[in-house]
Structure 1
């Protein structure tokens, strides 16, 4: 038994943050019913990249965040369609939505309306800037939240312009906050018997993650500058180019300093008492970085990593995506699994990276075809007949 089996999640969300959250719950055992627009579905079904298979093409973007769910199509602009949602919400444990503020209230599907039908419902609204405040009605995307939260101001090479991370970190981390919120609310419901409404702002989520950068501002009044791969408060902690033009990242504490100097043949630095502590190395950052840069340029990445790893100095090669997928530890930990897809055939995916003892581990499932489960969900959950479902479909509700 997986830890979330028996939990029913009604997922009215689209694109990335919330679908990522509900996929994590689904692969830990929850039944996630994804509600999609008839005809088109979640807009990411049309996003590149497209995987090609014997039966056609499927969006890799959609598959990355919608595995293990059941898909139904419901037209929320139709009153009959909204009645279907009310019926499903009356039985659900959790409802997740990321519509613009006020949209579902106008359609009679807000928390107040649905909690009247199901007081135990945990209702999550995830928007760009939250349900209130001066920005509440603004629209935004991942990179907007990165920019406005200060994250992008911290990212980039020394003296250069701002750079966005290589992944949509605002979307993905907001999805994790949504999952945390849901699990927290469910634990609270166990004690009170009542659900509640959770307001998740993607902007708030990014500001909350400033953590160490904010600590420097609170403690020192410092507005951190861009340092590339260097750490503002630890030296050395950076990526270095090796002789073969590959890169190795090193991060050390005081106990690693002398072993690093021995491994890289820098005896003068290793015996310099002024560099024995991080404070001393911070004060002489340029000198230390120049010496390590020169030492690393004499070695290939494999040679440098072998020397540092052999000295128990924390270091790791900067791997490209293909190198990651081929990495022996990635393979040993089973981080890439496969599912059978009716259009693509056998296809890989990244597993939820949790291991349980006492429950079954998360299980990789395939993403649903659009509306694949509409009829069976309405039969199972609402007791509808084939004729009733057909009438709804004929009327444009499904």
Structure 2
């Protein structure tokens, strides 16, 4: 068997999270990913917390496995020429500079595609290649705020909150991967490459599908609802007697059994509550009764009883709890890689399981510039003397 993306060559100019996440996924699916970094410091996430005692960044480790690292000063003519030579041999370019920056480096789509018409070129920016905000800078939480995601996150009586993970970056990373794979399939049919304009703000807006549906259908601009679902009752986290939280979510078919387990006989006897629309209309009545019934139960025993009755229920876990969960352990969600300075280090697996291809294997994050010599010498034919001169001149 082989890895499904074996033979695909990706030249990755992206930094920090969204782009590196996408190319890590594709690297562990078999693509040959060369990460282009600044000489000296490299990707700025190499300095991000949390840091290991050896100085390595666990943040960088999380999004840069399985790649090669090449250092290039893209402001130098020699660095631009080297990058262009590698681009001519590549299937995919990923970059997340502001619009126009890659053109200033003589590495824009028009220039590179002239010598490589099959090139799939992804420009991942905060606000896209067009529009009045295209030159704005931004980070994950800025996009969460602007997009409305932050306004939707938290409880009604608390200020807006960011999501617990960098959802703007990570959802954009998934869309970069989708864009690359779609471009490759399209090239296979047409023989032509393409330039893909992927804005993080556009991605965040696409995540508003259900919130927008309520706006379009009911002219309702929803806001924070805590763990409750705006269109389903019950669907919320409830605190149990031991202080732990349990999320319960049920539809009409679950309602009778749920009432029986919780001893909510009066609610079960109310015909108006038999349908979701009736429960939504009587949300406060239902929620008060459920909170009281669950508050006197131990979480573990209640969760088991609900699941045995076919009712969807999930403990609100910490990161440590879920990564040590028996099911996740059986699925081998946590693996590890061997790093030259950090040693054996845990990592979350790329979550795809194949029948017919090799499964993704956890790769090792590259040392800064660790593959520069091999790439320049073995792939581009530079002599040892020429490579030494490039290093002396600050090109690599």
TM over 0.5: yes
Alignment partners' CA distance in 2, 1:273 and 1:217: 30
Alignment match, 1:44: 45
Partner of 1:142: 140
| Residue in structure 2 matched with residue 59 of structure 1 by the alignment | 57
Superposition map of 1:162-201 within 5 A: 162-201=160-199
Which of residues 275, 278, 283 is equivalent to 1:277? 275
CA deviations over 1:328-363 (Å, ceiling 9, x no partner): 011011100011111011110000001111101111
Q: Deviations over 1:64-123 (max 9, x none)?
A: 000000001001011001000000000000000001111111121100010011111100
Structure 1 residues 162-241: aligned runs within 5 Å: 162-241=160-239
Q: Give a deviation string over 1:125-180, Cα, whole Å, max 9, x none.
A: 00100001010011111011111111111111023221111111000000001000
Aligned twin of 1:22 = 23
What is the alpha-carbon distance in structure 2 between the residues aligned to residue 184 and residue 381 of structure 1? 28
Can you give the 5+ residue segments of structure 1 that lack an aligned partner in the other structure? none
Q: What is the TM-score normalised by the length of structure 1?
A: 0.98
Query: C-alpha displacement at 1:306, in angstroms?
Result: 1.4
Point out the more displaced range, 259-268 or 386-395: 386-395
Question: CA RMSD, aligned part only?
Answer: 0.8
Distance 2:152 2:274 in 1: 28
| Structure 2 counterparts to residues 344-363 of structure 1, below 5 A | 344-363=342-361
Matched, 1:68 2:69: no
SS at match of 2:151: helix
**Paired residue for 1:151, among 145, 149, 152?**
149
Counterpart Cα distance in 2 of 1:3 and 1:380? 25
Query: What is aligned with 1:125?
Result: 123
Equivalent position of 2:292 in the other structure:
294
- After the TM superposition, which parts of structure 1 deviate over 6 Å for at least 4 consecutive aligned residues? none
In the TM superposition, residue 387 of structure 1 has moved relative to its aligned partner by 2.0
Structural mapping, 1:88-127, within 5 Å: 88-127=86-125
In structure 2, C-alpha distance between the alignment counterparts of 1:136 and 1:225, rounded to whole Å: 28
Deviations 1:220-245 (A, max 9, x none): 11100211000000000000000011
Corresponding residue SS for 2:56: strand
Relative to the length of structure 2, the TM-score reads 0.99
Q: 1:229-274 CA deviation, whole Å, 9 max, x = no partner?
A: 0000000000000001100001101100111111111122122211
DSSP-derived class of the 2:293 partner: helix
Task: Point out the more displaced range, 163-172 or 378-387.
Answer: 378-387
Alpha-carbon deviations, 1:159-215, whole Å to 9, x = none? Answer: 322111111100000000100000000000001111110001001110011010010
8 Å contact from structure 1 (residues 264, 307) kept in 2: no
CA contact (8 A) 1:10 1:94 kept: yes
Shift of 1:57: 2.4
Aligned-residue offset at 1:379: 2.2
| 1:14 Cα deviation from its structure 2 partner | 0.4
Deviation string 1:13-32 (CA, Å, 9 cap, x unpaired) is 10101000000000111010
**Using the alignment, how far apart are the partners of 1:223 and 1:379 within structure 2?**
59
Q: How far apart, CA to CA, are the structure 2 residues paired with 1:5 and 1:336?
A: 24
1:292-371 mapped onto 2 (5 Å cutoff):
292-371=290-369
Select between 382-391 and 371-380 the one with higher mean Cα deviation: 382-391
